[in-house]
Chain A
Amino acid sequence: MSAEFEPRIVAFCCNWCAYAGADLAGVSRLQYPPNIRVIRVMCSGRISPDFILKAFQLGADGVLISG
């Protein structure tokens, strides 16, 4: 085990709200930990449970669905 636990988080963001919000965080220069990777979708309704299970299966420590 490495000294510090760094979680890997997969985020699914709706293009029309959460993805825009993540952009706004950037425009506002809000700083947050670099542990998250955003996958853009056209609606959080696109997220099938398969995607969430797949992410966990491949070792994600967290899955965030925002929309």
Chain B
Amino acid sequence: MSDQIRIGVFVCDCGSNIAGYVDVKALAEYAKTLPNVVYVKENLYTCSESGINEIKAAIREQSLNRVVVASCTPRTHEPLFRGTCEEAGLNPYLFEMVNIRDQCSWVHMQERESGTNKAKDLIRMGVAKAALLEPQESIKSEMDPNALVMGGGISGMTAALALANRGYQVYLVEKQAQLGGLLLQLDTLGPSGVDAAAFAASQAELVRNHPRIRLMTSTQVKDISGYIGHFKVTTASDGKEEQFGVGVVIVATGAQILKPHGLFGYDGERVITQLELEARFKRGTFSAGNVVMIQCAGARIEERKYCSRICCMVALKNAIQIKETHPGTGVRVLYRDIQAYGTENEEMYRRARELGVIFINYDVNVPPKVHGEKVTVTHQLLGRELDLPADLVVLSTPLIAGEDNEAISKLLRVSLDENKFFLEGHVKLKPLDFATDGVYLCGNAHYPATVREAISQALGAASRASIPLAKGVMTVEPIVSTLVDEDACRGCGLCVALCPYGALEIVRTEKGRKVRVIPVACKGCGVCAATCYQHALSINSYTDRQIAEQISACLESSG
């Protein structure tokens, strides 16, 4: 094949979707006049079998080395046409698509002439770019088959066991000395009434005895570098550092409990939290004549707007426990809204009422007041204040984001939400993945969850994490950043600081400090290329020259 650029342009009618609103014949005639175009074909449907065969035949017979299809949107059809090129022996990245349907014929249905002129411009721009396209090869990278699970609570233990049972080596890092996390502080788990500590202990036993889990307690993750398939982890324990490699990371670092200092006269004695109440159950020291529980203590207020979701169910569970063990004790729950979703939780709510627990709604603007042996609340229906006897006040406080979240988010380059909980990649499409490949999340690290939800999420995150592990090799589209001019790079590191995916690093070379692209981690966004004042970095198929050429072609006036 000669070095001469030979572009074939295929103009699609899309039935009447394009041909009905723009002059497709005129487009085809116009395409023939463009530089480097040696072949033009109008198809009824370019994506049909006959259209595809016409592209393949033209690549062979006309020795085409670039293909342009002017039709619908590359978002749906680019993979198909790239595949067509590849089947005909042409590198799939020598293909360019021009959108003359979704962004032209369909939006200018009453303007045939100006719509046709716009389509000509778009084809001219596509042809100009196509002439500069270069072949690319997809990028393959081996996966490290090990996994890191951060956090040894119920989520972390569940995820670690799930991965280890699939045969992967798991490093489970827990900063505390003991496994179990928040479970260790709970009494029983609603709605089933399982003993929390015993459940935690049985899971911890499985973890400790698993041959594929390397348990590292009293250990902190100090540093994580790298990318999916090749993370390098540094841990520290008692001042001793250790390094190991993993392919995936699961964040199961949990949350912490808000200590309600300054709220409703909290003193840890007569005004306590639900957790402190459970500690009394566990020790068998609970006794009270009248209990008042106050929901949303420190939650759903100006400084902490979110609902912690689980506190209502905790209150229901504990109210039931008081009533079942101390039937003579009065229990009143002051609430704003009750969150008891799902059949079993709703059943707990019904059961609590049946046992005589009284629920009183309060308005956030007129919060209950705790004074002496009573709590005053403004009843919403009666419209007046009620004095409730209370020798014990229990505050339902929210879970708040873990204290290490910001540090971990920087280590892994993953996002936090406005409340400093970890933010998933997509609320529906990637609920257990981070936007950064190879990093997953589950449990309270994401958002307050019940134990059952935490376990489901942990199993899900382990399942997601095992997909790349099972594949063993990563294949990545080569639309990534490349260092096109090494000499120009001054190693300033601006691009490294701005890369949202950790796909760039500064390395020492014979020529001094230079940037190095980690192609498997790169998403091709091009922030680096736009930032580099030396123009040392570029994005494959979106180079400075290619885009500049499109701009020039756009602003030439059409014939």
Contact = CB atoms under 8 A, between A and B. Distances in A.
B116 to A, nearest CB: 9
A37 B118 contact: yes
Interface string A47-64: 110110011001110000
A23 B125 contact: no
Contacts of A38: 99, 103, 122
Contacts of B108: 31-32, 34
* Count class of interface residues, chain A: 20 to 34
Contacts of B544: 48, 50
A60 B526 CA distance: 23
Interface string B103-134: 11011111100110110011001000000000
Interface string B307-344: 00000000000000000000000000000000000000
Contact of B526 (A25, A30, A45, A58): A45
B526 A42 contact: yes
Interface in A21-41: 22-23, 25-27, 29-32, 34, 37-41
B34 interface: no
Contacts of A48: 529-531, 544
B109 A31 contact: yes
Closest 9 pairs (CB-CB, A-B)? A46-B526, A26-B102, A43-B525, A26-B106, A45-B527, A48-B530, A58-B555, A23-B102, A34-B114
Nearest to B526: A46
Given A23-B102, A23-B103, A26-B102, A34 B118 contact: yes
A54 B555 CA distance: 10
B96 to A, nearest CB: 10
A23 B114 contact: no
A58 to B, nearest CB: 4
A7 to B, nearest CB: 12
B227 interface: no
12 contacts: A20-B75, A23-B73, A26-B102, A27-B106, A29-B106, A34-B108, A39-B547, A48-B530, A51-B548, A55-B555, A58-B552, A60-B555
A51 B539 CA distance: 15
Nearest to B114: A34
Nearest to A6: B114
Interface of B: 73-75, 99, 101-104, 106-111, 114-115, 117-118, 121-122, 125, 479, 523-527, 529-531, 539, 542, 544, 547-548, 550-552, 554-555
B97 to A, nearest CB: 9
A30 B227 CA distance: 42
A27 B106 CA distance: 7
B530 A47 contact: yes
A10 B550 CA distance: 10
A34 B103 contact: no
A45 B528 CA distance: 8
Tell me the dominant secondary structure on chain B's binding face. helix
A39 B114 contact: no
Contacts of B523: 42-43
Tell me the dominant secondary structure on chain A's binding face. mixed
Nearest to B101: A26
B223 to A, nearest CB: 27
B126 to A, nearest CB: 10
Given A15-B75, A42-B479, A47-B530, A10 B554 contact: yes
A30 B107 contact: yes
Contacts of A54: 548, 551-552
A43 B103 contact: no
Contact of B542 (A26, A32, A41): A41
B548 A25 contact: no
A9 to B, nearest CB: 10
A38 B103 CA distance: 8
A67 B430 CA distance: 20
Contacts of A15: 75
Q: Which of B530, B544, B548 has the most CB atoms of chain A within a 10 A radius of its CB?
A: B530
Given A10-B554, A43-B525, A23 B548 contact: no
Nearest to B525: A43
Contacts of A10: 551, 554-555
B519 to A, nearest CB: 14
B555 A8 contact: yes
A46 B525 CA distance: 6
B551 to A, nearest CB: 5
Given A26-B101, A50-B544, A58 B73 contact: no
Nearest to A13: B103
B530 A45 contact: yes
Contacts of B114: 34
A23 B122 contact: no
Contact of B547 (A19, A32, A41, A58): A41
A58 B551 contact: yes
Contacts of A59: 555
A54 B114 CA distance: 24
